[in-house]
Amino acid sequence: MSSILIFGPGYTASRIAAALNARGWRVTTVGRSTIDDDAAVASAIAQATHILSSVPPDSAGDPVLARHGSAIAASDARWIGYLSSSGVYGDTGGAWVDESAPVGGGRRSARTEADLAWQALHRQVRVFRLPGIYGPGRSPLDRVREGKAHRIDLPGQVFSRIHVDDIVGGVLASVDRGPAGVFNIADDRPVPQNEVIACASALLGVAPPPLLTLAEAKLSPAAAAFYAENRRVSAGKAHRLLGWRPLYPDYRAGLAALNAMTSPTSASADPATAGSDHR
């Protein structure tokens, strides 16, 4: 039986776990309460055929690598994955980036260090660089409903994003047939965040929020920092080498599907979620 050990069973990784569990895999997860149990984690690493970490670095670095990196490096796992961020590319002025682009010039220096450390850890490592993640319960539709959505007056600002189910699809494609390496997983249509918020508002039948300057919006430092970078993320490598195609190739398809899920006939992100680099 194939078995996967998942560090950090959060929003995205929990869905990957569910998909593999549905395939009959044995799934073991390590969260905050168990990451310090060295003996149990070492045993799980030794037994796993596959290992995935979705744990972001903190001020002290990557906690998984710090505590268990040596054991993972020595493991016989035939597939190791790390959910990274397209924020490692920094600001490109709206230009396209692929996996050959330089990293480390942006605001996410700790993420870049972790990204590079995972690449160097083991010959079977796959690093997935993800842009802004959206999905059920965590989308522009939710932000508009809650009155927390913003439209910021920054002409030319463009972002990439990805539906959480398409991350699952990309990871499963890698598990099934993909080589080791770095892969961007993003949809096919980077657009301004304002366009996404306007679409969400239209789907909900409400007026879009007013266009504000950054100063007028009074965003949190984290949300404001999101607008300091501007790039388009290409997933062409994942298309070619993993045979992966997104179920939701653009935000319109993704938001329409989410809206259908929560409409009265069928049975519910802030800018820093729908167009940034949060897992």
Which pLDDT tens digit goes with each residue over 73-130?
999 999 999 999 999 999 999 999 999 999 997 777 999 999 999 999 999 999 999 9
In a domain, 163, yes or no: yes
Which pLDDT tens digit goes with each residue over 152-204?
999 999 999 999 999 999 999 999 999 999 999 999 999 999 999 999 999 99
Q: Domain containing 197 — which CATH number?
A: 3.40.50.720
Residue 61 DSSP symbol: B
- Domain count across the chain: 1
Percent helix, strand, coil in the chain, to 5, is 40, 20, 40
Distance from C-alpha of 77 to C-alpha of 52, rounded to nearest angstrom:
10
43: domain range?
3-274
Q: Are 159 and 231 in contact (CB under 8 A)?
A: yes
Q: Are 83 and 54 in contact (CB under 8 A)?
A: yes
Model confidence, pTM:
0.93
In a domain, 206, yes or no: yes
What does residue 70 show for φ and ψ, rounded to 5 degrees?
-65, -40
In a domain, 279, yes or no: no
